[in-house]
Each structure stands twice: as structure tokens, then as C-alpha cells.
Amino acid sequence: MRVAVIGGGGREHALVWKLSKSPQVDMIYALPGNGGIGEIAECVDIKTDEIEEILRFVKDVDYVIVGPEVPLSLGLVDLVGKHKGFGPTRDAALVESSKAFAKDLMKKTGLPTADFDICRVREEALLKIRGKKYPLVIKASGLAAGKGAFVVENESDAREKIEKLMVEKILGEAGKEIVIEDFLRGEEVSVLAFTDGKHFLPLIPSQDHKRLLDGDKGPNTGGMGAYAPVPFLSDEDVEKIIDRIFEPAVYGLKKGGIEYKGVLYAGLMITDDGPKVLEFNVRFGDPETQAIIPLMESDLMELILATIEGRLGEMRINFNAGYSTCVVLASSGYPGKYEKGKEITGFEDVDDAIIFHAGTKRVGGRFLTNGGRVLGVTATGDKLEDSIEKAYGEAEKIHFDGVYMRRDIGNRGVVG
Ligand SMILES: Nc1ncnc2c1ncn2[C@@H]1O[C@H](COP(=O)(O)OP(=O)(O)O)[C@@H](O)[C@H]1O
Ligand SMILES: [Mg+2]
């Protein structure tokens, strides 16, 4: 069969890499793909929000697998048809594209989450932050590519963020509506599961490292690395999370007439009171996927087909034993301004890790940097420590001008 993968980041490279191992998959197109994806799939120069162009191109493919949230929130799966598109419909994607919608759903279905207010008017928001306990969290409700959540330390910081979002509109429409919620303490984890709306098959839990600097300091990024599985969550813990969080969320949507099919991602804070939902995403995580996929034994295409066809109840999902760590190599300056077009060398020396390309481009026989996050280097090992050591050992072999990586990916799992 012929499949198209929408997206061009590290997540999509990992998905394409895994799909290319499926005996059923004959041809993979990536829209737009990247330098590394181009080695194993045919890249097509169409961006992920160019819905009309995507629709025209995918007429002749059998399945469309959507990586990022934006095309899902634009209704790509509705438009290609639910028998052909992998991922939730536009309405189901609201659990990511509207944090207000998601919090309402959580409240209605009794999910554990931080107490919150939703505000559509500045004056109302300014009233709500009075007399609150700080830190407090202020979030733009709409999609903001990871730049819409702010932890504020006092009322005047809170006021400033409200003005920026609702009056200056620094995030445009995304900040028209905001969520104000209590700050939760604990260990943050990502739990992802395939669901066909009735059945749930969880992936191994993982932990992302969102901050730029070691020790979880500095600005938030798209993710500087991840590891899986998380040693402090047992299989039973994950089962409980499926029962108490995933099932009520998906069944709650169904009650409102919305069927959810695809991968559902819960960003969780493991607090002293148990896991609480920070947010839902409606897709695979990046860079969690680059850590999880190399340990996946099952055929990804079979899981995708079973999800689309509502057959997950008869499926199992198997992972290899051991641990996986993905270290992201970024351009210096990221997540702020950075330069592109630096030659990347040393690939041929890497022999014990998988390299997933994110922001790269192939020009002639050379790979050049083409984004903030450039590569993810994933290594596996029997112990988490082994996978970390290997990932760094191999990452060291790759060079480009201004390469930056965090030095402590995975350490929280070793200490915790
Ligand atoms: N209630 C909360 N308490 C503590 N930290 C939070 C809370 N909500 C969000 N965060 C932190 O902010 C990050 C981003 O928030 P999130 O809701 O995931 O939005 P997005 O991923 O859309 O930016 C989270 O990964 C978490 O580290
Ligand atoms: Mg998040």
C-alpha cells in the first residue's frame, strides 16, 4: 500500500522509519519531509497547513498519517475521509486546539486536573487572579506551538501576561480566551495511547525535557530530548491512567457526539495525589516518539489500520525490553534566532544509534541544518543508564557549527 505521512520533523522521521519496516507498506510519501526522511521516503514539497495541496496530492495514496496538530485542527482527516486518514477529526482535535474545551471536558467527566477558570474578557481574568495562591499558570486556549503557557510568580506577573495575551494579542486568536489554573508540583510524564474510540492500547510512558538548559532551566523549547519507558510508572500505573483518564475523556467526547480515533497524548503531572492532566495532545509527541518508536516491536501500520477500522480490541502492542534515550542536537540560538545552512558531518561514524532528522535539508550529497532542532540521536540499552551513555557517545560524533545539546537527558529517570 501507499501511505503519505504529513509533517517534516523528528517525529515524522521516526514514524516513516518504522513504517518502512512494515511488509504491507510499499511506498511512503512525506509532506514535506526533511533531509533524513528523503533517504527512505519520497519527499513532496507541500507544507502541513496547505490543505488544498495536500488533498490534491493524496488522492492516489491509500492512507494519510498526520503528524502535527495544525492540519488535524484544520480538519484534514475529515477532508480525506475517516477510512483513509489516521488521526482525530477537527472536532475531536479540539481537545488540543482549545484548552478551554479540554478543561471543560475534564471537569464534566471528573478527570483529575488542576482547578481552573476560563476567561474570555480581560476584566474577568484580572478579577480571577486576585487572592490566588502563586505560582499560578496562565495559558492561551488556542494552539501556540508550545509558547502559550506561562507560570507566573505573583499577581503583577499574572496581570502582565493577561494584558499581553488579551490586549496586545501577542499570540493572536490563540490568546483571545485564556485558562487560569493552579500550579501542580510533581514529575511530568507523557502517556500516549492508540484508541479507536472504544479500545485503548498504551505506548510505553516517556518523559520529555522541554527546557533549554540542564537542570530544567531556561526557556521552554519544542523538547530537547526524551527517554522511555519511565521507571517510576509501572504497567499497572499506566493501566490506571487509561481507566481513569483516557477512557472517561474519549467516552465523554462520544457523549457529546464526537468520535475520537488516533493517538491520544496526555501530558500528566504525577503529584502526591496521583496523576493529574496538564493537557491533551491529539497526536504523537515530539521528541517522545523518537524515544518510543525504536523500542516498538509491533508493526506500526497494523496498529494504524486497526485504529482506523475500529479493531484495536483484537490487537496487542509489544515493546522490546530495555530503555531508550533520544538526545536532541539544536542550532545555537534556538529557541530564539538561529542560523541555517551549516554543514552537518560525522554521520558515517555513528554505528550504535538511530539518527532522526528534524531541521535538515539535503543539498547535493551534503546535509545542511535547516531548523532550530536539527537531529535527534536515539540509543537503546538494557538499562536506562546504558541508553543515555550510548546516545551521548554517538551524538558527540556529529558536528555542525554551533551544535548545542543538553547534557542531562534521562537523568531524572535514573535519580527518580
Ligand atoms: N498546572 C500546571 N502546573 C505546573 N506546571 C504546568 C501546569 N500547566 C502547564 N505546566 C507546565 O507548562 C508546560 C506547558 O503547558 P501545556 O499545558 O503542556 O501547554 P503547551 O504544551 O500547549 O505549551 C507543561 O509541559 C508544564 O511543564
Ligand atoms: Mg504541552
Which pLDDT band holds residue 410 (cuts at 50, 70, 90)?
very high
Average pLDDT over residues 15-38: 98
Specify the pLDDT at position 347: 97
Q: Measuring from atom 9 of ligand 1, which residue has the nearest CA?
A: 278
pLDDT-based confidence at 23, cuts 50/70/90? very high
Distance 79 CA to ligand 1 centre (A): 31
Mean pLDDT of 77-104: 98
All structural domains of the chain with their residue ranges? 2-89, 121-176, 185-314, 323-415
The burial class, CB within 10 Å (0-12 / 13-18 / 19+), for 16 is buried
Q: What is the pLDDT of residue 69?
A: 97
Q: State mean pLDDT over 370-398.
A: 98
Span 92-121, average pLDDT: 97
Superfamily of segment(s) 121-176:
ATP-grasp fold, A domain (3.30.1490.20)
Atom of ligand 1 lying closest to residue 184 CA:
3
| Nearest-ligand number for the alpha carbon of 285 | 2
Q: Kindly list the protein residues whose Cβ atom lies closer than 6 A to any atom of ligand 1.
A: 114, 137, 139, 146, 148-149, 151, 181, 183-184, 188, 210, 267, 278-279
In the reported structure, the alpha carbon of residue 83 is separated from the centroid of ligand 1 by a whole-number distance in angstroms of 33
Residue-wise DSSP of 233-296: S-HHHHHHHIIIIIHHHHHHHHHTT----EEEEEEEEEETTEEEEEEEESS--TTHHHHHGGGB
Residue 416 confidence (pLDDT) above 70:
no
pLDDT band of 60, cuts 50, 70, 90: very high
Determine how many CB atoms are found less than 10 A away from the CB of residue 272: 7
Atom of ligand 1 nearest to the CA of 210: 25
Tally the C-alpha atoms within 13 A of residue 305's C-alpha that lie toward its C-beta: 15
Atom of ligand 1 nearest to the CA of 267: 18
Question: Ligand 2 centre from 61 Cα, in Å?
Answer: 32
What's the CATH architecture for 323-415? Alpha-Beta Complex (3.90)
Q: How far apart are CA 68 and CA 393, in angstroms?
A: 30
For the stretch 108-154, pLDDT in tens is 999 999 999 999 999 999 999 998 999 999 999 999 988 899 999 99
CATH architecture of 185-314: 2-Layer Sandwich (3.30)
Calculate what percentage of the chain has a pLDDT beyond 90.
98
CA 368, CA 13: separation in Å to the nearest integer? 16
Residue indicated by cell numbers 508493526: 299
Q: Output the pLDDT for position 146.
A: 83
Choosing from 180, 278, 280, 284 the residue with most ligand 1 atoms within 8 A of its CB, the one to mutate for a pocket test is 278
Strand arrangement of the beta sheet that strand 343-344 belongs to: 343-344, 366-369, 360-363
Ligand nearest to the CA of 187: 1
Nearest to 155 by CA among 178, 176, 135: 135
Fold exhibited by the domain 2-89 = Rossmann fold (3.40.50)
Ligand with minimal distance to 278 CA: 1
The pLDDT-based confidence of 387 (bands split at 50, 70, 90) is very high
